[in-house]
Amino acid sequence: MGVVRGIRSGGMLLLGTLLLCASAHGDWNRADDANEAGIRHLLAERAEDAQAAFELALLELPKDDAERITVSRNLAASLAELSERRRGEGSVRESIRLLTRAIELHPERIRYRVLRGRAYFDAGRDGDRLAAAEDFRMALQRDPDHVDALFNLGEIAYASRQLDEAVEHWSRAKELRPRDREILKRWERARRERDVESLYAQRRAGIFLVRHAPSISAVQVAGVLQLCEEAYGELSTRFGSYLESTVAVTIYTPEEFRDATRMHGWVSGLSDGTIRLTMRSGTRARDLRSTVYHELAHHLIRARARRVPVWIHEGLAQLAEGKSARAAQARLKTSGPVTERVLSSTVLQEQDPRAVSHFYDLSLAFTSFLQQRRGEAGVLELLGQFDESPDEAAALRAVFGATRTALFDEFRTTLRQR
């Protein structure tokens, strides 16, 4: 955790020679006790209590005391641990604030730069990504072989569709940590997409940056941009989610989409931090509109809350594109047993298209059922609860007063009655 214990002597923690020599002075004794308490709290993962104890220790020490360095570094460690908790809870700005102070207290600690860079990246704005890249580059200046800094610079480049740069960073990280599967997976993906997209052109409008295959005409690209702006205007209001960073939209031919993403044939669009669409000369305007609305809905839901389960992600995205919940309910009535466990399936790994269709119908119908129960406001409240609650069950209880199983049983009863 980066705790600085100082010097052990006779089983008693000493902050340094001055404290040892002047142990009769009450201020130093109190500082010693507070620092020791802070360490115990930090090792027990009570970061807030640790912070309070280290703050007290600093207050007790004279301004010119050399041992302030030791206590300051312990305080920085507690702030870093607390920042990670805040980031996990979705309080990214608070995480950045805590890490900024940790860096001020212990500027030589590379880890704090990397943690703040990741928090900036999670904040999602274009300016935040620039700040994140600066933190990672500063970490590399001090340690050119810092794998986490290289990994995260690759993430930033990839999100901006700077694929050559992403490949370069992940290639270097792979050399340093050759058995890391996550690095290898990202390097292979970025290299594959770079090869597919090497001749792609790009065009920007508002927050959207569109990259497209050479076979996609300028008229088609203009149509996609118009659809993106129309969908954003409607869905940002609907979800109460507004974007302050560039949204990269890549338009592939169906064949290039498969080559780049290795997705199943039934997938026509994807939202994975960027938006990916497929298009050919005969693509119907209605189908394209549905795909744009569906994938942008995923993007906006993710911007509003980070821990939303897949089933409600897909349910809301289908409602956003205009899919009929009533038609889904009708199909479910004739598709065999309707079980709750389907909602927990990993749909992108599913090989059977019938199982995929069943999952999408069920997620649409069940999400619509929840929306009818509490309205759109209730569902939006639920999205926030997924981030704030320890698990999905607690989030549903907080908003609907029941577990998912109880709600699903009620949904299944209404399905039989229709």
Question: Per residue in 74-99, pLDDT tens?
Answer: 999 999 999 999 998 878 999 999 99
Count how many residues are written for the chain. 418
Lowest-confidence pick of 25-29, 59-63, 116-120, 340-344: 25-29
Task: Name the residue with higher pLDDT: 167 or 242.
Answer: 167
User: How would residue 10 be classed by pLDDT, with cut points 50, 70 and 90?
Assistant: very low
| Residue matched to tokens 């839901």 | 301
User: Which one-letter amino acid corresponds to residue 315?
Assistant: G
**Strands lying side by side in the sheet with 201-205:** 201-205, 208-212, 247-252, 275-278, 269-271
Answer CATH for 7-196 from 1.25.40.10, 1.10.630.10, 3.30.300.180, 1.10.645.10: 1.25.40.10
Residue 314: name the closest of 334, 328, 335, 330 by CA.
Answer: 328
**pLDDT for 111-148, tens place per residue?**
999 999 999 998 878 899 999 999 999 999 999 999 99
In this predicted structure, what is the pLDDT of residue 35?
92
Identify whether the C-beta of residue 201 lies closer than 8 Å to the C-beta of residue 212: yes
Say whether pLDDT at 66 is over 70. yes
Structure-block tokens of residue 294: 């569906």
**pLDDT for 254-292, tens place per residue?**
999 999 998 877 788 899 889 999 998 778 889 999 999
Q: How far apart are CA 349 and CA 277, in angstroms?
A: 19
User: How would residue 5 be classed by pLDDT, with cut points 50, 70 and 90?
Assistant: very low
Say whether pLDDT at 13 is over 90. no
**DSSP letters spanning 90-142:** T-HHHHHHHHHHHHHH-TT-HHHHHHHHHHHHHH--HHHHHHHHHHHHHHHHH
Q: How far apart are CA 139 and CA 149, in angstroms?
A: 7
Instruction: Please state whether 262 falls in left (phi above 0), alpha (psi between -120 and 50) or beta.
Output: left
In this predicted structure, what is the pLDDT of residue 86?
92
3-state secondary structure 243-302: CCCCEEEEEECHHHHHHHHCCCCCCCEEECCCEEEECCCCCCHHHHHHHHHHHHHHHHHH
What is the separation of C-alpha 171 from the centre of its chain, rounded to a whole number of angstroms? 23
In this predicted structure, what is the pLDDT of residue 337?
84
Query: What mean pLDDT value characterizes the chain?
Result: 88
DSSP state of 339: -
Q: Which residues contact 229 (CB under 8 A, 6 or more apart)?
A: 205, 206, 208
Domain coordinates of the chain in residue numbers? 7-196, 198-300, 305-418
User: How would residue 348 be classed by pLDDT, with cut points 50, 70 and 90?
Assistant: low
DSSP state of 13: E
User: How would residue 352 be classed by pLDDT, with cut points 50, 70 and 90?
Assistant: confident
Q: How far apart are CA 61 and CA 78, in angstroms?
A: 18
Task: Name the residue with higher pLDDT: 417 or 358.
Answer: 358
**pLDDT for 376-418, tens place per residue?**
999 999 999 998 888 999 999 999 999 999 999 999 998 877 6
**pLDDT for 311-343, tens place per residue?**
999 999 999 999 999 999 999 988 878 999 999
Q: Encode 372-405: b = buried (16+ Cβ within 10 Å), e = exposed.
A: eeeeeeebbebbbbbbebeebeebbbebbeeebe
Identify whether the C-beta of residue 100 lies closer than 8 Å to the C-beta of residue 132: no
Identify whether the C-beta of residue 277 lies closer than 8 Å to the C-beta of residue 224: yes
**pLDDT for 143-161, tens place per residue?**
999 999 999 999 999 988 9
Q: Which residues contact 142 (CB under 8 A, 6 or more apart)?
A: 110
Same topology for domains 7-196 and 198-300, yes or no?
A: no
In this predicted structure, what is the pLDDT of residue 27?
58
Class of domain 198-300 as given by CATH: alpha beta
- H helix and E strand count, the chain: 18, 7
Number of neighbours of residue 234 by Cβ within 10 angstroms = 14
Q: How far apart are CA 65 and CA 83, in angstroms?
A: 28
